[in-house]
Structure 1
Amino acid sequence: MHMRAVAARQGSQWIAEGWTLFQLRPATWVLLGVIDLLLTAVLYELPYASDLTAVFTVLWTGGMICAIERCRTTGTAGLADVVRGIRTNFQPLFAAAVFGLLIAIVCDLTGDRALSALQLLAFGGAGNSHSVVALIAGAIYLTAAVIGTMALWLAPALIVLNGATPADALRASFAATWRNGSAALVYGLIVAGLMVACVLTLGVALLVVAPLVYLSTYAASRDMFPLER
């Protein structure tokens, strides 16, 4: 897989390209976004199963990437394309999803301590043994969250579009995010702004933002990892 460096402005371009793809089949993408949100909510509410949302997200992302590729090439897409994408690439996607599950477990185990660490830093309470433990847990949480996000962002797309193995996809996604940090930062800030819009609209904007994240991730993957002909 050939990875290329891109300018910071590409972060906004990925959003623009995702929006262009959204306009091809808006009803389809909204429907798929609703299904995604409902299934995620159900998994999150199940006792002892909230971490399985990480597995579902990786699998669903792979299916969405397949549907988006079909939409780009044929102009049509649907739930069947998502299911086919998951089924066809299930083994490598599931292997990447296991990594996501491990990251989620680490974050869950250190999350409360991380909050304590933030409070200690904010109010200058560091010093005793409990505060040291909290700060260490906070560092572990932050490290796992950042590494996990960078490695998992493009991994499903690389598996589906580029035929990468799970390990190669995770490494390549991390490397691409690191190398193109300025573009990734611009992209992340825009997505964060869109999430704020979701809060301000009481979640209504999420019907568009949720699929747009997948569509723009597809655009980012194709930009940084052009398909070899």
Structure 2
Amino acid sequence: MGAIRLAQPISGWLIAGVAALVAIALVSFVSLGAMTKKARVTGITIPITGSISIAAPSSGLLMHSHVKEGDIVHAGQILFELSNERQGEKGEITALVAQQLATRQQSLESEQHLRRAQALDKQQALNLRLNNLNNEAAQLEQEISLLQRRHLLAQDSVTKYQTLQNNGYVSAAQTQQKQEELIDIATRLSTLKRASLQQQASKLAIAAELQQVANNLATDQVQLERALA
């Protein structure tokens, strides 16, 4: 009897070959391959040469762009055209703002003139009061000077009458009358001196008020000038 041989179908050989190739590929990947690790980072990406920020002098609407992404630009080159003219329900906002600013400036200038006029009127009234007080003070000084002379004469008269009374030439009643005249003159002189002191105090108060008016006017003008700037 001879040897027995079993014939295998071709599909089995193909399957075995494919399995062998897959096994070889897996072994090669494990031994030679590398795996990239994943990591999560925060931040932003920027060009390697850096970036710059472009800011317009004022805000507005972009009307036209002279460049596109990726273009090379040079210093002084026009990049964008902006318009600050905006439209609102009542028309162009820029014109409305300009009108409001003009109205505000006119109002501030009117306020400035009014403050000056009010300060000038008050200064004139105070100066008039001060001039009247100066005239009254001059007249009062003359009255005080005359009354002081009369007071000296009355003192001399009382002294003489006392001497005459001691010698029997005049009566005590006459001497007493001269003494009463002296007291009356002294009282009037004291009253005039008090009035003079009151006038001096009033003059100082008016002078201080004049200075205060000038200071207030200067402060108001500075504030209005700042508001107008």
TM normalised by structure 1 equals 0.27
- Which protein is bigger by CA-based radius of gyration? 2
Higher relative contact order (CA 8 A, sep 6+): 1
Q: Which has the larger share of helix?
A: 1
